[in-house]
Amino acid sequence: MASRLFRSIQEPIRENLTWDEMWMGPDRGLIWCWEKGRLDRHSQPELARRAERGELIPLDWKGGVRKKLKEEIKRGTLKYLATWQGLRGEDLDIDIDGERVLVCCRTGQKVLFSAAPIEDDD
């Protein structure tokens, strides 16, 4: 798989996928996470508005922020980033091999998103 994973927000959400199709493909579940965020955008509009403002809200994956931590940078997963992009109504656009830092608009906490494994830090 290429280092950059991109899907346009114009792409329809896939339907009737098997578990293997969702999680075991070359994208490692990132497309499904993004699609889930897109679905949640419609079922949870307040959550979507908070994400659109730049809040890193708690989701199913590590990367959300409840409060500012003592550490300067918290670690987050690419699955969180994909879900968050879908929730915001954005294209899926992730550098699989790279890193991206976002700052939560509510807490000011920096979160580093990468494919590297994360130790339990919450």
Is residue 75, in this structure, part of any structural domain at all?
yes
CA nearest 55: which of 118, 114, 103, 7? 103
- Give the Cα-Cα-Cα angle 37, 42, 80 (nearest 5 degrees): 15
Structural domain includes residue 82: yes
- Which pLDDT belongs to residue 118? 76
pLDDT at 120: 60
Q: Which residues in the chain show pLDDT less than 70?
A: 1-2, 120-122
State the residue range of the domain holding 101: 19-114
Give the chain's domain count.
1
The structure's pTM equals: 0.92
